[in-house]
Structures are given as structure tokens and as C-alpha cells.
């Protein structure tokens, strides 16, 4: 009977090690595919611009000043990642405080993992919801300004 308990403990430890490794590898693969798709899109846009310039349909000067300016989309991406990383930090802090307050023994790894990952996903969700609320308010304000009649 003792071996069954040890086997379960090793299995839980193996799962605790393998799952993050698989998640990391998956994240790397998804990031690589997303970057490749973005690069292909930029390449196609570049070819399209060159063809339009060669045919004289658009002026080359249109693209000179717009290339280097950071887009609003990029700035919003920084805001999203800021929210997510702040949520991760707060989640870790709150989970450590919760574990200490509940007097969970550090060796009771299942409860510790449940608390930590539960709080991480909770705070990431809250951060994304806050980002959505802030973003939708900004877009409404911009649309209201754009739709105002010019005097």
C-alpha cells in the first residue's frame, strides 16, 4: 500500500513538471507561427505598395511619414501586457499571502498549486476585462470626437 502513495506522489510531481514544459513549448510554437503570419502579411503589403507606386496609382510620399510612427494598436498591446504582467505579480503575491493565512503546509502541493493557478487565471481575467472596459471607453470617445460636426 505504501508504494501506491509514493507512485501517486511521483505522478503528481511528474504532471506538475511536464504540464508547464508543454505549455511553454506550445506558447513558443504559437508565437513563432503568429510572427511568421505577420511577416508574410507585411511582405504582401510591401509588394502591393510597390506595384501601386510603379503603376503610378499612389504617390510614394504618402508612406514616408507613416512608417516610423508607433501605431495605436502597438501602444494598446503594451497596455494589455502591462495589465497581464501586473495581474500575474498580484496573483502570486495574493496566493502567497493566502497560503500563509490558511496555514497550508508547503508540502501539501496540490492545494498550493490550485490556489496559485486559480488566482493567476483570476487576475489575468480581471486584467483583460479592465483592458476591454478602458479600450471601449476610449474608442467611444474617439468616435464621438470624429462624428462631431465641424464648425
Q: Provide the terminal-to-terminal Cα distance of the chain, rounded to the nearest Å.
A: 85
Cell 494598446 sits on residue: 76
CB-based contact 12:110 (threshold 8 Å): yes
Cell 493557478 sits on residue: 117
Q: Report pLDDT for 5.
A: 56
CB-based contact 59:75 (threshold 8 Å): no
Q: For residue 85, what are the contacts with CB-CB under 8 A and spacing of at least 6?
A: none
Q: Which three cell numbers stand for residue 83?
A: 495589465
At 91-123, the pLDDT tens digits run 777 877 877 788 877 666 777 777 777 778 888
Q: Report pLDDT for 75.
A: 65
Written as tens digits, the pLDDT of the chain (151 aa) is 455 556 666 777 777 778 788 888 888 898 898 889 888 988 988 888 888 878 877 766 565 545 544 456 666 777 777 777 777 778 777 877 877 788 877 666 777 777 777 778 888 888 888 888 888 888 788 778 777 766 5
Domain boundaries, the chain: 1-68, 70-145
Amino acid at each position: 500500500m505504501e508504494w501506491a502513495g509514493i507512485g501517486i506522489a511521483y505522478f503528481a510531481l511528474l504532471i506538475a513538471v511536464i504540464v508547464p514544459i508543454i505549455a511553454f513549448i506550445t506558447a513558443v510554437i504559437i508565437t513563432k507561427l503568429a510572427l511568421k503570419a505577420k511577416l508574410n502579411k507585411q511582405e504582401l503589403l510591401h509588394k502591393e505598395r510597390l506595384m501601386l507606386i510603379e503603376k503610378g496609382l499612389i504617390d510614394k510620399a504618402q508612406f514616408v511619414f507613416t512608417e516610423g510612427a508607433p501605431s495605436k494598436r502597438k501602444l494598446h498591446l503594451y497596455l494589455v501586457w502591462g495589465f497581464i504582467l501586473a495581474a500575474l505579480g498580484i496573483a502570486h503575491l495574493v496566493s502567497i499571502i493566502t497560503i500563509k493565512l490558511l496555514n497550508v503546509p508547503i508540502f501539501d502541493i496540490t492545494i498550493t498549486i490550485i490556489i496559485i493557478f486559480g488566482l493567476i487565471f483570476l487576475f489575468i481575467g480581471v486584467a483583460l476585462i479592465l483592458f476591454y472596459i478602458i479600450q471601449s471607453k476610449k474608442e467611444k470617445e474617439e468616435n464621438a470626437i470624429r462624428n462631431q460636426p465641424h464648425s
